[in-house]
Homo-oligomer: A and B are copies of this chain.
Amino acid sequence: MDAAEFRKRGKEMVDYIADYLEKIEKRQVFPDVEPGYLRPLIPDCAPQDPESFEDVFKDIEKIIMPGVTHWHSPYFFAYFPAASSFPALLADMLCGGIGCVGFSWAASPACTELETVMLDWLGKMINLPEEFLAGKDGQGGGVIQGSASEATLISLLAARTKTIRRVQLEKPELTEADIMGRLVAYASDQAHSSVERAALIGGVKIKNVSSDDTFSVCGSALKKVLDEDKASGLIPFFFCATLGTTPCCSFDKLLELGPICNKENIWMHIDAAYAGSAFICPEFRHLLNGVEFADSFNFNPHKWLLVNFDCSAMWVKKRSDLTGAFKLEPLYLQHHHQESGNFINKLDYYYFHWQIPLGRRFRSLKLWFVLRMYGVTGLQEHIRKHVRLSHQFEHLVLQDERFEICAEVVLGLVCFRLKGSNELNKALLKSINEAKKIHLVPCHLRETFVLRFAICSRTVESTHIKFAWQHISQLATALLKTWEQNHHQQLQQ
């Protein structure tokens, strides 16, 4: 395919995408296919000779679309939102066209520099303390990671290196392996599985801290486990606080936890993957109070800030903590500028020192396009609409006394269930997801099986919420009827 054909096919693809997104509502949100559906539909191996674009293009509707879960359907209420917007799509096209691999300043100066400035823009939008910003001569700064999991891992590894160095100074008789064997990381029992995974990767212990009856970790819970662990010779070194947990969007109490971490030399990382985007609205910013105690902070514009996946924003107070944990510098990545005194030039702005992979795409273009073409007010409207819709759904649930709300609705997630057994609620979820008019996923809150209703699509409106609730309500009525009959039969037997 040459540039001339790309002009033609690219425009066809733009129309296809516009059509797909404009009419997505008409597609069934969750596919009908059974596992293994795709393999029989395509050849066993790649063709020897080129096929035409038309051949490939017609297979999109034939082979791919029947197996797609439509994350941008206004009937999709599962997981958390995956951001999508037209400005981000345009920026990603440009990113692909430029096709640079920006692992160092010299590999494409614009790629490194725009990222640094965009993370400052974004940090200012959520009123992050200045220490987290790069500015012209700050010690902090932001970076785009691929996912919150990577941000958690990177911060845990930085904390591990920092703690090992400190303990080795204090107790030179301990080997690195001795110290590693005593390190403990902590996170809420509501924290995302990626925190446990980060500890597993880093080869350190991790313990759950019990959340309270609002599913938040408070200071006393952390203090209790720290005291026990220190008494038994362990070395607490890392705490991952969550703002907006995955199961129910609860918030750990930063203002209590932060001072404890600071006093105990524990790196506090904040994972606000979903909730973080809301902090651009002044009325939600208080949820971030206490961030001043943290060493690192992360949220995902690719969840709720209309920047297509992947774009996970992470900030640190001291970027030397990150770069110091990994710095390796082969000659083919060095550049004559790096010896100069200029800020951006310093080795710590070789972003590959901040992340797991070496290569990186020009992802800051997406932030630049989205922040400019929506403006802060446009993005605030998007957040506020979602929060309004979740309260609308909450209100509908509360009006039906068969149902209960299971956790405070703060942002765009409603946890709800039928009053009754877990089995009953599993049956309800099954009937919802088998009907495939809307799509939800469940969670456990303690021992309780709960349905999660997350406001996801950019284009979801009040009418979709009403429809979803009526649908759930009707399915519940039908379910309860059979359920009671079965129960009645069981009693008679």
Contact = CB atoms under 8 A, between A and B. Distances in A.
A201 B157 contact: yes
A18 B71 CA distance: 30
Nearest to A122: B46
A430 B38 CA distance: 53
A2 interface: yes
Contact of A35 (B31, B38, B92, B342): B342
Interface in A350-380: 356-359, 361, 365, 368-369, 371-378
A21 B38 CA distance: 35
A34 B342 contact: yes
A121 interface: yes
A101 B89 contact: no
A368 B430 CA distance: 34
Given A46-B122, A94-B16, A372-B47, A342 B36 contact: yes
A466 B219 CA distance: 69
A274 interface: no
A14 B8 CA distance: 9
Contacts of A333: 441
- One complex includes copies of this chain to the number of 2
A92 B363 CA distance: 14
A49 B377 contact: yes
A127 to B, nearest CB: 11
A259 interface: no
Contact of A177 (B64, B178, B329): B178
A86 B343 contact: no
A337 B72 contact: no
A181 interface: yes
B90 A45 contact: no
Given A39-B136, A344-B35, A332 B375 contact: no
Contacts of A169: none
B330 A193 contact: yes
A242 interface: no
A368 B332 contact: no
Contacts of A4: 18
A375 B48 contact: yes
A255 to B, nearest CB: 27
A201 B203 CA distance: 9
A231 interface: no
Interface string A415-432: 000000000000000100
A3 B16 contact: no
Contact of A375 (B14, B30, B51, B194): B51
Interface residues of A, number: 156
Contacts of A483: none
A14 B20 contact: no
A67 B36 CA distance: 46
A1 B47 contact: no
Contacts of A51: 372-373, 375
A49 B100 contact: no
A100 B9 contact: no
Centre residue among A2, A10, A308 by max chain B CB count within 10 A: A10
A61 to B, nearest CB: 12
Contact of A196 (B157, B308, B328, B378): B328
A114 interface: yes
A108 B452 CA distance: 19
A53 B88 CA distance: 12
B14 A18 contact: no
B56 A373 contact: yes
B3 A310 contact: no
Interface in A394-440: 430, 433
B18 A7 contact: yes
Centre residue among A182, A200, A442, A443 by max chain B CB count within 10 A: A200
A313 to B, nearest CB: 13
Nearest to A43: B121
B197 A328 contact: yes
A150 B319 CA distance: 22
A374 B51 CA distance: 7
Contacts of A56: 87, 368-369, 372-373
10 contacts: A34-B337, A48-B377, A50-B373, A67-B111, A69-B106, A79-B101, A99-B308, A146-B359, A201-B326, A336-B433
